[in-house]
Amino acid sequence: MNMRIPAAAAVALVTLGTTIPASAQSFPSRPIRMIVGFPPGGATDLVARILQPKLQESFGQQLVVDNRPGANGVISLEILSRSDADGHSVAFGHIGNLVISPTIQKVPYDPYKSFEPIGMMVTLQNIMIVHPSVQAKSLKDLIALAKAKPGTINYATSGVGSPGHLATVLFETMTGTSLNHIPYKGGGPALTDLIGGQIPMFTAVISTAVPQVQAGKARALAVTGAKRAEALPDVPTVAEAGVPGYQATNWYGLVAPATTPKPAIARFNKDMVAALDSADVRQQLKDRGIESAPSSPEAFTRFVREEEKRWGPIIRKGKFE
């Protein structure tokens, strides 16, 4: 069909068409807030701090890391969902606040409808560590202790429904053991208590634990991924250590409020990918057992849905309390 547009209307459309992109291209026009759902000292905060200088440089604006701990990152996404949808507020999305928590409880947002994906950032493993005083030199020793005294070994995680919690529930299910969960508001406080001897075991994000394991302040029993971590090559996987078929991997991505303009999302993704692909950022992450894994917004959404399908049945059957 051949449609003719009146000249006045055509001028209006051209004007409108040039005005919107020009506004979008001005992003960012003020400081950017990156909301992290855990306290300083944990893995999410570490990744944010590593990326902060690169993104500030590329954006030409200050980037503020805003720590809003609580509820396994749910609070951070609730805050983001109420923020202006202009690209100047973003938050970390991960398996905890995008998959686990929405499965086990009512959350004040929809994981897909409330946010615009920016992209995947990194993947990383969890690691099972114990205080040096614990009488378990290996994962098999831990399993034996847990079976001898069911429900008496306390373990820390960064919160109910956190990746470490999911990893340990899967471990209990596959080994027929029962451990006692002590949730914290983040990996930093949990690690402090483990080092101080207040709690014997911590299923931590690996980046949190690497320096303490290397310093001998914590004993590593196993990592939860499919392969050993380059940062701790002598530490076996859970599967290698006696639980065949076991695998639980963590990941972080960035999301923005729903209806954030596509040009702002595209610009943020472009700068995020460039930062994660830079040699110095990759090395900093690698040194802490983290793998740079940037993706497009669309690929990140597909990945989250795949994680939901994979873990949903396990989450619903597990003891998340």
Tokens of 104: 């086990």
pLDDT of residue 98: 96
Question: Three-state SS for 38?
Answer: coil
| pLDDT at res. 99 | 95
User: Tens of pLDDT along 251-280?
Assistant: 999 999 999 999 999 999 999 999 999 999
User: pLDDT averaged over the chain?
Assistant: 90
- pTM (2 decimals)? 0.82
pLDDT score recorded for residue 41: 84
pLDDT the model gives residue 321 = 62
Whether residue 74 is predicted with pLDDT greater than 60 in this model: the reply is yes
Q: How confident is the model at residue 180 (pLDDT cuts 50, 70, 90)?
A: very high
Residues 6+ apart with CB under 8 A from 121: 47, 51, 251, 252, 253, 254, 272, 276, 292, 293, 294
Q: What is the pLDDT of residue 268?
A: 98
- In the predicted structure, residue 2 carries a pLDDT above the cut 50: no
Is the CB of residue 300 less than 8 Å from the CB of residue 253? Answer: yes
pLDDT for the residue numbered 9: 42
Band the pLDDT of 185: cuts 50, 70, 90: confident
pLDDT for position 3: 38
Say if residue 15's pLDDT is above 80. Answer: no
**Could you tell me what percent of the chain has a pLDDT over 70?**
92
Question: How much is the pLDDT for 186?
Answer: 86
Per-residue burial over 37-74, b = 16 or more CB atoms within 10 Å of its CB, e = otherwise: bbbbbbbbbbbbebbbebbbebbebebeeebbbebbbb
| Residue 217 predicted with pLDDT over 50 | yes
Domains of the chain: 31-123+251-317 (3.40.190.150), 125-223 (3.40.190.10)
Residue pair 256/116 in contact (Cβ under 8 Å)? The answer is yes
pLDDT at 23: 42
